[in-house]
Chains A and B, each alone.
Chain A
Amino acid sequence: GDSVTQMEGPVTLSEEAFLTINCTYTATGYPSLFWYVQYPGEGLQLLLKATKADDKGSNKGFEATYRKETTSFHLEKGSVQVSDSAVYFCALHGDTGGFKTIFGAGTRLFVKA
C-alpha cells in the first residue's frame, strides 16, 4: 500500500540556517503530495502541496518539489526563524480513489535564537 517515509528528528538549527527535511513516498499512480505543519498545542495545517510531477509547492518561504523519478518531496527553507519551530508532516493522497490521506511520522524542528 501507499506509504510515506520522512527523516527522523528532532532537527535543531540556529536561526537563519538552511533547512531540509527529507520525504520519500511509495504509491501507485500519481498521488498528490502535501506538507502539513503542527505548532505546539494545535492541530495540523496545510503548509504547501503539489499535485503532479515537477510541480513546486511554496508558502511562507518553504518550498518542496514533486520528484517522481526519485519519489521524493523534500521540504526546504533558506533561512529559518524561531517561529518555524514545529512538527512537519509529509503526506500523500493517492489517485486510485478512496478518501485516505497517508501521513509520515513527522519531523520535529527546533530553531534556536
Chain B
Amino acid sequence: NAGVTQTPKFQVLKTGQSMTLQCAQDMNHNSMYWYRQDPGMGLRLIYYSASEGTTDKGEVPNGYNVSRLNKREFSLRLESAAPSQTSVYFCASSGTGTLGRNEKLFFGSGTQLSVL
C-alpha cells in the first residue's frame, strides 16, 4: 500500500525561486494537511483541506499557497522561497470525513527543503 506519497524527497532552492511540493494519498481520505517540522518546534500546521474543494490556513501559512486538485492530491507552493522556509515538510491525510476526535493522521515520508 502506497499510503501518502510526497515528491520530491529533497530540494535545494535559491532565495526567490518558486516550487511546488506534491502530495497524493490512495486511502480515500477526505482531509489533507501540510505541516513543517523544525528543530525544537515539533510540527506546525501550514494549511489544511477538510474536504475536496476547501482549503484553510493553519498556524503558519505566510509565504505558502495550496491547491486541493482532487480528492487524492494536495499541493503546497512556495511562490518566492526565503531562507526561513528551510524545513522538513510533511503531508498528511485523515479520515472518512466525520472529523472525529479519534482521527489519526497518516504521514508521507517528508520533503527536506533548503533555501540558500
On A, residues with C-beta under 8 Å from B are 4, 30-32, 34, 36, 41-46, 49, 51, 89, 93-95, 99-101, 103-106
Contact = CB atoms under 8 A, between A and B. Distances in A.
Interface stretch (B14-22, B60-68, B76-84, B102-110): B102-110
A104 B43 CA distance: 7
B103 A93 contact: yes
B42 A99 contact: no
Contact of A43 (B48, B102, B103, B108): B108
B107 A44 contact: yes
Interface in B49-79: 50, 56, 58-59
B8 to A, nearest CB: 14
Given A43-B4, A43-B107, A99-B48, A32 B41 contact: no
Contacts of B108: 43
A49 B107 contact: no
5 nearest A-B residue pairs (beta carbon): A43-B107, A103-B42, A32-B101, A103-B43, A105-B42
Given A99-B48, A99-B50, A104-B42, 9 more contacts: A31-B101, A34-B104, A44-B92, A44-B105, A45-B107, A99-B31, A100-B59, A105-B40, A106-B42
Contacts, number: 57
A12 to B, nearest CB: 18
B43 A43 contact: no
A44 B43 CA distance: 10
Contacts of B110: 42-43
Contacts of A49: 102, 104
A103 B109 CA distance: 17
B90 A43 contact: yes
B41 A105 contact: yes
Contacts of A41: 109
A99 B101 CA distance: 9
B12 interface: no
A43 B14 CA distance: 26
A30 B92 CA distance: 24
Contacts of A99: 31, 33, 48, 50, 56, 99
